[in-house]
Amino acid sequence: MKIVAIIQARMGSTRLPGKVLKEVLGKPLLEYQIERVKRSKRIDEIVIATTSKEVDQPIIDLCNRLSLAYYRGSEEDVLARYWQAATKYHATVVVRLTSDCPFIDPDIIDAVISEYLSNLDDYDYVSNTLERTFPRGLDVEVMSMKALEQAHHEARSGVHREHVTSYLYSHPEKFSLGTVKNSFDASQYRLTVDTEEDFQLISRLIHHFSTKGMDFVPFKDILRVLEEKPDWTLINAHIEQKKLDDSL
């Protein structure tokens, strides 16, 4: 069994173009995320799935600098890009991550993977997003290669081709779904980077922890700072997550 984490990344974000390579303290946000994903004890390989467009070459350059595997595919059909990347790297289990999560937590990643592995006969897909108790930016989705392949062959609508896993959780009659919840509800926080306000908060947090000499910051320590500095959470509290649009 080979567990492959596939991180989708592109430069062409509509709300904050180039966000994945925006730098804080001289390091791109995507590199912060990769460093944290590498701390997972369950993942066998990390693959960056980007597009074949020339604008995304800087992402490939980062992969080469970090000696990281990558795959280039369709910009619009992200589901196909995922399936092709998973096929190329011989995945048995696919961990879906998005590139706007510089504070992704390896312990949470491993908890979701463990829930899936402990229930192989029961679940096709496990995530911590079906019932949101974690902040946005800590999203982890785990699925079998078989489920991903089925979604790739069956999904037809634009929204399912773009959002990779929406076909799975939209069809509970076809796929068995599992969920991992936090011990308390922390869903009010945003640790994702989708807007300039999100970037301001993430940048402030990175600067804060760097002054304390903390190379790796667990989820609980990030939450502690947000609880101690409620004014920081106001920076991006008004941002609404983009809704899935079936007209795509």
Tens digits of per-residue pLDDT, 80-101? 999 999 999 999 999 999 999 9
Q: Which of 228, 233, 210, 10 is nearest to 135 (CA)?
A: 233
Q: Domains plus CATH for the chain?
A: 3-193 (3.90.550.10)
Phi, psi of 36, deg, nearest 5: -75, -40
- To the nearest whole percent, how much of the chain has pLDDT over 90? 92
CA 177 to chain centre: 18
- Phi/psi of residue 70, each to 5°? -150, 165
Q: pLDDT over 70 for what percent of the chain?
A: 97
Rounded CA-CA distance 57/220 in Å is 35
Give whole-number Cα distances, 167 to 75, 128, 158, in Å.
Answer: 18, 17, 11
151-173 pLDDT, tens digit per residue, is 999 999 999 999 999 999 999 99
Cβ neighbour number for residue 63 with a 10 Å cutoff: 20
Q: Is 57 left (phi over 0), alpha (psi -120 to 50) or beta?
A: alpha
Which residue intervals of the chain are DSSP H helices?
Answer: 29-37, 57-65, 78-88, 106-117, 145-154, 158-163, 166-169, 196-211, 219-228, 230-233
**How many beta carbons lie within 10 A of that of residue 48, not counting itself?**
26
Say if residue 40's pLDDT is above 70. yes
**Are 115 and 66 contacting, i.e. CB atoms less than 8 angstroms apart?**
no
Half-sphere exposure of 221 (CA within 13 A, CB side): 13
DSSP assignment letter at 248: -
**Residue 246 scores a pLDDT above 60:** no
Q: What is the mean pLDDT of the chain?
A: 95
- Would you call 191 exposed, middle or buried from its count of C-beta atoms within 10 A (0-12, 13-18, 19+)? buried
213 confidence band (pLDDT: 50, 70, 90):
confident
- Say what the pLDDT of residue 156 is: 94
Q: Are 93 and 113 in contact (CB under 8 A)?
A: yes
